[in-house]
């Protein structure tokens, strides 16, 4: 039973999976190896596991004895986190999170019949000073914008993009592509483990990539270019009222 006084630190999606994996794999007298953890999480790169273990040590969720990685164990905070997140990540550590890699749609889909995806476009409406009401009936082709073999949707969680008008709970429409320009809002996959929605910054002289949140309280994230894969560019947004 987790103590009510044990603080659960803020963890990334993969860190949550990692503490749960350690809890599942730990034996009564022996800790799991990095290789065992990687196999359990179906991760090819042990280096990625090492990096996240170092992060969990810094967050006081994991401790190790000596210099080796054979004697890693969860701290009280790590055990509290594992207990808390186990219902979500314990049975399916790889796919249990919205931060898992995005399964992109096939580009070989049949051509859609878009005739039924048009709605009347009646004109303009002022969001500032009132303007003269004008009747200018046309149609808006929703299919061409939102629907197609190269489009997919993602539900947004978190507030890192609020200053771009993308709020927690919104749905973004993404065009599947592996390249993007600086300034685009992209779906970026980090270490082939975690997907994040950020604005793409200019590539640095050392080849690193900067992913910029649209929230004044959050700092940009910088990664080696080899660690970042672009999975698409945001082309639209949906919100229900």
Whether residue 83 is found in the same domain as residue 19: yes
Whether residue 138 is found in the same domain as residue 162: no
Does the pLDDT value for residue 11 go beyond 50? yes
Q: What is the CATH number of the domain that holds 198?
A: 2.10.109.10
Whether residue 227 is found in the same domain as residue 160: yes
Q: What is the CATH number of the domain that holds 49?
A: 1.10.10.10
163, 215 contact by CB (below 8 A)? yes
pLDDT tens for 123-154 read: 665 655 565 555 555 776 777 667 767 888 88
Q: Domain tally for the chain? A: 3
Is position 159 within any domain?
yes
Tokens 């200019």 belong to residue: 202
CA distance linking residue 103 with residue 100, whole number of Å: 9
Beta bridge partners of 141: 118
Is position 8 within any domain?
no
User: From the centroid of its chain, how far is CA 75?
Assistant: 26
Annotated catalytic, 129?
Answer: no
Whether residue 120 is found in the same domain as residue 75: no
pLDDT tens for 182-217 read: 999 999 988 888 888 999 998 888 989 999 999 888
Concatenated DSSP letters for 206-236? TSEEEEE-S-TTS--EEEEGGGEEEEEEEEE
HSE value, Cβ hemisphere, 13 Å, CA-based, for 66: 4
Whether residue 27 is found in the same domain as residue 55: yes
Catalytic one of 160, 175, 204, 226: 160
Whether residue 116 is found in the same domain as residue 80: no
Catalytic one of 16, 59, 79, 198: 198
**Which of 147, 169, 194 is the last residue in one of the domains?**
147
Whether residue 114 is found in the same domain as residue 182: no
pLDDT of residue 64: 83
Q: Which domain holds residue 158?
A: 149-238
Q: What are the contacts of 216-222 at 24+ separation with CB within 8 A?
A: 216/163, 218/160, 221/196
pTM beyond 0.85: the answer is no
Whether residue 160 is found in the same domain as residue 230: yes
Is position 4 within any domain?
no
Whether residue 57 is found in the same domain as residue 133: no
Is position 96 within any domain?
no
Annotated catalytic, 97?
Answer: no
pLDDT tens for 154-180 read: 888 888 898 999 888 888 888 889 999
């Amino acid at each position: 039973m987790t103590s009510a006084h044990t603080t659960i630190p803020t963890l990334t999606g993969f860190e949550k999976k990692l503490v749960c994996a350690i809890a599942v794999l730990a034996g009564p007298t022996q800790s799991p190896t990095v290789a065992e953890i990687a196999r359990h999480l179906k991760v090819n790169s042990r280096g990625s596991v090492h990096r996240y273990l170092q992060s969990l040590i810094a967050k006081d969720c994991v401790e190790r004895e000596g210099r080796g990685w054979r004697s890693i164990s969860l701290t009280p905070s790590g055990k509290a986190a594992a207990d808390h997140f186990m219902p979500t990540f314990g049975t399916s550590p790889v796919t249990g999170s919205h931060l898992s890699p995005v399964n992109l749609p096939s580009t070989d889909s049949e051509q859609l019949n878009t005739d039924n995806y048009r709605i009347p476009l009646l004109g303009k409406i002022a969001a500032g000073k009132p303007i003269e009401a004008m009747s200018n009936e046309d149609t808006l082709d929703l299919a061409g914008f939102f629907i197609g073999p190269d489009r997919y949707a993602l539900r947004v969680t978190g507030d890192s993009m609020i200053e771009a008008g993308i709020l927690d709970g919104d749905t973004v429409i993404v065009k599947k592509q592996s390249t993007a320009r600086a300034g685009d809002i992209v779906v970026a996959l980090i270490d082939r483990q975690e997907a994040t929605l950020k604005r793409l910054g200019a590539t640095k002289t050392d080849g690193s990539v900067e992913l910029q949140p649209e929230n004044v309280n959050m700092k940009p994230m910088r990664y080696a270019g080899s660690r970042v894969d672009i999975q698409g560019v945001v082309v639209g947004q949906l919100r229900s009222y």
